[in-house]
Structure 1
Amino acid sequence: MAKARRTVTDQVVTETKRVPAVTLTLTIEEAETLIAVGSLVAGDAETSPRRHYEAITEALLKAGVRDFTASGSHPFDYLKRSHPGVAFRSYPLTEAIPF
């Protein structure tokens, strides 16, 4: 069962500052499902919200969660391929990138 708890954590950008954060506790199956669903997310990994998925995937892989290319049964195997997925467009150049 997934659980979420809002916290504050330190994040290094150009300086260390306190930013709002969320601590998410997932089972392995839930984490693998998140990776599978996120694999359908499209968009620029630097100039769109997709960059957040990249950070999430990296953290999950560092925690030992299998990615969708792993052998054996994985939630990715059950995705409907007939749907195009989710795509983010880039943030406008005149707008500061949030977060």
Structure 2
Amino acid sequence: MELFEKLYDEHEKAQVRFVGFTTDETRYDFGIVYTNMFFGKPLVVCMQTGRSALLDPNDAADIEYLQTTFRIKEHQQAADLAEFFRSALPTMPFEPQYE
């Protein structure tokens, strides 16, 4: 008897972008993994804290979501981050994986 039921086991050559930048208030270091998995949403990892999220442009435009996900205290810092993600994340049409 197997202990786990495997849901998926995919191999993919993914494109990864590492970017560091500063704003007036803080420094950011992110790894962005562009993948076909997860509805095409890139996996965004904060290299400083290890916090990560699957983000599309709609998610990235939600300032409160960014504050919660990356534990950012100041609204303006999250707004600056949203501005960066606006240019860094690809726009992909959402196609439901499960119907």
Structure scoring higher RCO (CA < 8 A, sep ≥ 6) equals: 1
The TM-score range, normalised by the shorter chain, is 0.3 to 0.5
TM-score by length of 1: 0.33
TM-score by length of 2: 0.33
